[in-house]
């Protein structure tokens, strides 16, 4: 029996194949070219003929698949599985990798046109997504217990994620604040460093005095600190570095001058 | 020497601490990480509204240029006009119409086929975020003087690259909807029993998968040519010609395929009966979809890289333009027969649906006129009118779907009286927008700032003002309806009732899925399982 889905796909294939032949002859095809896919004679305008024929072949393939798999109807599928009904697809849990993947795609797109750094960053993001998404999808099906699944995933991924996240955090702090220190005056850099140290000390003290600390609060404070650090870093990078005095050369020159004066004495 | 026994007593075993189950995310984190198909569907829908605003503003700016045919291009300038026109077309089709369909599909199709979720929910989420961010970059590239006709070559390339990303996101989103309709149907729900919206979603998805990669591949050629090549394809001025086929005849009908499914689900409910000849209706939608395949009718590659309209005057162009009328008429006939057999109650989704179907049929007739070469209507405003008829009919049809499924989408129906009034005004606005353009096409007004070549300049300008007024009315109707939808969404209660007494599975009471022996299981359960029209055949 030809299934409903197969009928649709075979219909599409027949229509597009017929249209390809008609189009081939209407746009200058000769002999049996449009019928023999150009084996004997021309097919007319190649682009339109090719697209119509490719559409017909694709639809024909989909029709074969629909016939072979019985439109993926639940009854034949259940019979194949040896069950009475097909198990329901279960709703999936929360995951941030889709949004990171989209961010990576757009970063790659922007980077390929405007800036190689963005392009590489986008590729790295997509690579990380590929690994993490695959790992999450596997771990979620490892056992029937979500808590155990999460534990399994964390045991495998934390040894990789934690050092990388730490390295990333250090890089953000070093690069971000070094841009700020290089942009302001020497004394200003000292005051900013003191202010940062004091802020960390005060926030750390406040948090430690609380009997219980919510994870959300700590995450929020760290996220805010990251945003401030990156923002200040961008601001410092845009402002550029201050003018530096080259003490090493001055010192060398003064030493030479001193020696010559001693010689003259 | 004293030896100390250090072996632990055997009975002293401590139980391992119980693992804490994962906590569900809340707030913004819940939205960013969602894999829940209803939330993803609503995200697609609301984001498409934002892009509709962009398309509407761009359309209004394009319309202003038509007031004075002597000074065409005076207001915006020729290049900015070209950019604005391109933004109007791209935002209206690829950032609004298709995403709104995908949003409805992701939310409604699983419920229609008895699935607990959409297929590949995380892929659907990734597609949404790519569409959102890619669309934002695409619009930003227009603002930075990129896009078709743009002067800054870097941002022209950024437009092309971000457009490819958006196209791939749309393909991925439709694949999720189609896979749900094919592979996640519940027991008893053969493909021949799927509700018409689910079936039309499958047909649309097949067309999207066949057609949009062709457009994406073409954009890749344009990108390579523009960035590295000798701009063989006409530089930024040639980009719009490489895209516009995707919303011109016959490809424009792709956007109307899901609308047939929506109307096909609404009319039997409004008529309080089951649809006449469900399988024939499926066949009509399938035939309509097959005839909407239009990637072959894109401009070819001339010897100088120009874009000759090779399909004009070709037999397939005539044939596709005329043949597509027959499945549309057959479908309309089935709906008419359903209304005749039932007991009609006039609801706002029905009015939106009727307006949509009327405009679609008018657009098809307009398309036949455009295809008749001796009438010389190609590249006149009559062709613009045909595109507008079909695409606005799709908009009205999708609004019908929103009004129909609002109780399931948002838990609250949209205000019925206001929605009915807006449907009537939407029909009026569409006619006012398109009909003058058909007439000015016969009066030889060319599209896209090419002026009037005939002698009836005053008549053309007067008709242009009527057309602009129609567009303005339509924009106001769209804004007001979106307001109604947002109001319904604001007071959401996700276990809303069924105000229509629906026929298909998405209207089944929670936890009481009826046995599926026909295409209208909830209707059967309500009226006692009568003879199935599907089985009767």
* Residue B187 sits at the chain A interface (C-beta within 8 Å): yes
Query: Is A58 within 8 Å of chain B by CB?
Result: yes
- Least confident among A217-221, B164-168, B417-421, B424-428: A217-221
DSSP-derived 3-state class of residue B452: strand
The residue with greater pLDDT, B194 or B12, is B194
Among the partner-chain residues A72, A88, A102, the one whose CB lies closest to the CB of B116 is A88
> pLDDT (tens digit, 9 = 90+) per residue, A115-130?
888 899 999 999 999 9
SS3 category, B446: strand
- Taking the CA of residue A198 and the nearest CA in chain B, the distance in Å comes to 31
Rounded CA-CA distance B24/B179 in Å is 27
Write the CB contacts of B192 (distance below 8 Å, at least 6 apart in sequence).
Answer: A4, B278, B279, B282, B519, B534
Question: What average pLDDT does the structure give for chain B?
Answer: 88
Using alpha carbons, select from B39, B133, B49, B128 the residue that is nearest to residue B92. B49
Q: How far is B276 from chain A (nearest CA, A)?
A: 18
Q: Which residue spans of chain B are classified as CATH 1.20.210.10?
A: 36-247, 250-294+312-492
DSSP assignment, residue B191?
A: G
pLDDT higher than 70, residue B304 = no
Task: Determine whether the interchain pair B314/A27 forms a contact, defined as Cβ–Cβ distance below 8 Å.
Answer: yes
What pTM was computed for the model? Answer: 0.88
Rounded to an integer, what distance in angstroms lies between the CA atom of residue B484 and that of residue B480? 6
Per-residue pLDDT at B93:
96
A-interface mutation test, from B115, B126, B505, most A Cβ less than 10 A away? B126
- Note whether A45 contacts B188, CB cutoff 8 Å: no
Question: Would the pLDDT of A145 be above 70?
Answer: yes
Written as six digits, the tokens of B271 are: 């008529």
Helix, strand, coil in percent for chain B, rounding step 5: 70, 0, 30
Which positions in chain A touch B130 (Cβ < 8 Å)?
101-102, 105-106
CATH of domain B36-247: 1.20.210.10
Cα B163 from Cα B479, distance rounded (Å): 26
Alpha-carbon distances of B241 from B58, B85, B96, B137, B301, rounded to whole Å: 18, 12, 20, 21, 11
Q: Check if B214 contacts A (Cβ < 8 Å).
A: yes
Cβ contacts of B183 on chain A, cutoff 8 Å:
72
Between A5, A11, A59, which is nearest B182 by CB? A5
- B7, pLDDT greater than 90: no
Average pLDDT over residues B3-30: 64
Q: Does the structure show a pLDDT above 80 at B306? A: no
**A4: chain B residues, CB-CB within 8 Å:** 190-192, 279, 282
**Which among B347, B405, B399 has a CA at the least distance from the CA of B106?**
B405
Residue A133 sits at the chain B interface (C-beta within 8 Å): yes
Question: How many CB atoms are closer than 10 A to CB B371?
Answer: 24
Greatest Cα-to-Cα distance within chain B, rounded to the nearest angstrom: 124
Nearest to B253 by CA among B315, B347, B342, B326: B326
Strongest mean pLDDT among A47-56, B112-121, B324-333, B456-465: B324-333
Smallest CA–CA distance, residue A218 to chain B, in Å, is 15
Average pLDDT of the segment spanning A194-201: 93
Look-up of token digits 């959300």: A216
Examine the pLDDT at B383 and tell me if it is beyond 60: yes
A265 pLDDT exceeds 50? no
Q: Does the structure show a pLDDT above 60 at B242?
A: yes
Q: What is the pLDDT of residue A176?
A: 87
pLDDT higher than 80, residue B178: yes
**pLDDT given for residue B77 in this prediction:** 79
pLDDT higher than threshold 80 for residue B219: yes
Whether residue B73 has pLDDT greater than 70: no
Q: How far is CA B206 from the centre of its chain?
A: 14
Mean pLDDT in residue range A199-219: 87
Q: What is the pLDDT of residues B427-464, one digit of tens each?
A: 999 999 999 999 999 988 887 766 666 677 888 888 99
Q: According to the model, what pLDDT value does residue A34 have?
A: 92
Q: Rounded to whole angstroms, how far apart are CA atoms B205 and B198?
A: 10
Report the distance separating Cα A183 and Cα A180, nearest Å: 5
- The beta strand positions in B195-282, using DSSP E, are none
Q: CB contact, 8 Å: A11 with chain B?
A: yes
pLDDT on residue B348: 95
Does the pLDDT value for residue B375 go beyond 90?
no
Chain A CB contacts of B298 below 8 Å? 47-48, 51
> Looking at the domain covering B250-294+312-492, what would its CATH class be?
mainly alpha
Test the B interface: residue of A17, A43, A55, A141 with most B CBs within 10 Å: A55
What average pLDDT does this structure show over A13-29?
Answer: 91
**In chain B, which residue's Cα lies nearest the Cα of A52?**
B296
pLDDT band at B11; cut points 50, 70, 90: low
Under a CB-based contact definition with an 8 Å cutoff, are residues B300 and B308 in contact? yes
Task: Pick the residue of A6, A91, A104, A129 with the most B CBs within 10 A to test the interface with B by mutation.
Answer: A91
- A234-238, B368-372, B449-453, range with the lowest pLDDT: B449-453
CB contact under 8 A, B290 and A15: yes
Q: What is the pLDDT of residues B137-157, one digit of tens each?
A: 999 999 998 889 988 989 999
Check if B115 contacts A (Cβ < 8 Å). yes
Whether B288 and B357 have beta carbons less than 8 Å apart is answered as no
Angle CA A165–A168–A169, to nearest 5: 85
pLDDT of residue B537: 36
Q: Is the pLDDT of residue A238 over 50?
A: yes
- The residue length of chain A stands at 265
If you average pLDDT over each of A173-182, A250-259, B14-23, B302-311, which comes out highest? A173-182
Chain A partners of B224 at a C-beta cutoff of 8 Å? none
Q: In which band, very low, low, confident or very high, does the pLDDT at B532 lie, cut at 50, 70 and 90?
A: very low
What number of CA atoms fall less than 13 Å from residue B37's CA on the CB side? 25
Query: Looking at residues B31-50, what average pLDDT do you find?
Result: 93
User: CA B527, CA B512: separation in Å to the nearest integer?
Assistant: 15
Residues contacting A205, CB < 8 A, separation 6+ = none
pLDDT of residue B21: 63
Nearest to A72 among B134, B183, B298 (CB): B183
DSSP per-residue letters across B54-71 = HHHHHHHHHHHTTS-STT
Q: What is the pLDDT of residue B535?
A: 41
């Amino acid at each position: 029996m030809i299934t409903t889905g197969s009928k649709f796909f075979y219909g599409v294939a027949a229509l597009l194949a017929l249209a390809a032949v008609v189009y081939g002859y209407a746009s200058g095809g000769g002999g049996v070219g449009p019928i023999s896919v150009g084996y004997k004679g021309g097919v007319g305008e190649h682009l339109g003929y090719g697209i119509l024929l490719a559409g017909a072949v694709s639809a024909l393939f989909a029709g074969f698949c629909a016939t072979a798999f019985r439109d993926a109807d639940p009854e034949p599928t259940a019979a194949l599985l040896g069950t009475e009904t097909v198990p329901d697809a279960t709703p999936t849990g929360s995951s941030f990798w889709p949004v990171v993947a989209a961010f990576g795609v757009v970063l790659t797109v922007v980077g390929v046109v405007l800036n190689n750094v963005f392009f590489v960053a986008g590729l790295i993001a997509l690579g990380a997504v590929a690994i993490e998404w695959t790992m999450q999808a596997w771990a979620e099906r490892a056992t029937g217990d979500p808590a155990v699944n999460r534990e399994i995933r964390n045991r495998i991924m934390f040894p990789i994620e934690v050092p990388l996240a730490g390295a990333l955090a250090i890089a953000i702090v070093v690069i971000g604040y070094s841009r700020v220190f290089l942009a302001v005056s020497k004394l200003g850099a000292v005051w900013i460093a003191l202010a940062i140290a004091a802020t960390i000390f005060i926030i750390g003290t406040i948090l430690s005095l609380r009997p219980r600390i919510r994870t959300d609060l700590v995450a929020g404070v760290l996220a805010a600190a990251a945003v401030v650090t990156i923002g200040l870093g961008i601001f410092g990078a845009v402002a550029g570095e201050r003018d530096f005095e080259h003490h090493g050369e001055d010192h060398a020159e003064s030493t030479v001058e001193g020696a010559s004066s001693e010689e003259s004495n | 020497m004293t030896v100390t026994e250090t072996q632990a007593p055997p009975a002293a075993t401590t139980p391992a601490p119980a693992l804490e189950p994962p906590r569900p995310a809340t707030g913004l984190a819940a939205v960013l990480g969602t894999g829940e198909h209803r939330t993803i569907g609503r995200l697609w829908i609301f984001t498409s509204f934002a892009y509709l605003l962009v398309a509407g503003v761009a359309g209004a700016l394009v319309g202003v240029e038509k007031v004075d045919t002597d000074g065409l291009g005076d207001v915006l300038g020729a290049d900015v006009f070209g950019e604005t026109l391109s933004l109007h077309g791209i935002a209206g089709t690829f950032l609004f119409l298709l995403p709104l369909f995908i949003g409805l599909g992701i939310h409604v199709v699983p419920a229609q086929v008895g699935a607990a979720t959409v297929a590949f929910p995380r892929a659907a989420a990734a597609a949404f975020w790519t569409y959102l961010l890619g669309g934002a970059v695409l619009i930003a590239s227009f603002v930075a003087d990129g896009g078709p006709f743009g002067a800054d070559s870097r941002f022209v390339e950024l437009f092309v690259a971000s457009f490819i990303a958006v196209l791939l996101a749309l393909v991925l989103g439709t694949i999720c909807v189609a896979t749900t309709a094919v592979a996640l149907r519940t027991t008893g729900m053969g493909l021949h029993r799927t509700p018409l919206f689910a079936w039309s979603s499958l047909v649309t998805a097949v067309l999207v998968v066949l057609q949009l990669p062709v457009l994406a591949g073409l954009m890749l050629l344009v990108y390579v040519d523009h960035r590295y090549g000798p701009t063989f394809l006409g530089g930024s001025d040639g980009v719009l010609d490489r895209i516009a086929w995707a919303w011109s005849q016959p490809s424009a009908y792709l956007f109307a395929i899901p609308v047939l499914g929506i109307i096909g689900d609404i009319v039997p409910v409004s008529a309080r009966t089951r649809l006449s000849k469900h399988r024939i209706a499926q066949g009509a939608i399938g035939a309509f979809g097959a005839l909407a395949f239009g990637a072959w009718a894109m401009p070819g590659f001339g010897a100088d890289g120009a874009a000759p309209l090779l399909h004009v005057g070709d037999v397939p162009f005539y044939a596709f333009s005329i043949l597509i009328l027959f499945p549309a008429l057959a479908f309309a006939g089935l709906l008419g027969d359903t209304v005749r057999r039932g007991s009609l109650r006039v609801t706002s989704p029905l009015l939106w649906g009727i307006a949509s179907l009327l405009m679609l049929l008018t657009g098809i007739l307009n398309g036949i006129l455009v295809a008749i070469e001796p009438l010389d209507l190609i590249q006149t405003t009559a062709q613009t009118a045909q595109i507008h008829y079909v695409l606005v009919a799709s908009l009205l049809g999708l609004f019908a779907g929103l009004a129909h499924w609002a109780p399931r989408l948002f838990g609250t129906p949209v205000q019925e009286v206001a929605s009915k009034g807006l449907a009537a005004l939407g029909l009026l606005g569409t006619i006012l927008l398109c009909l003058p353009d058909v007439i000015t096409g016969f009066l030889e007004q060319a599209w896209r700032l090419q002026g009037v070549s005939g002698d009836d300049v005053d008549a053309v300008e007067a008709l242009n003002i009527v057309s602009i007024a129609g567009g303005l009315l339509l924009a106001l109707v769209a804004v007001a309806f979106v307001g109604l939808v947002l109001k319904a969404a604001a007071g959401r209660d996700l276990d809303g009732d069924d105000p229509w007494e629906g026929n298909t599975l998405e209207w089944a009471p929670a936890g009481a899925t009826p046995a599926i022996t026909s295409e209208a299981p909830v209707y059967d359960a309500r009226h006692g399982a009568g003879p199935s029209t599907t089985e009767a055949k």
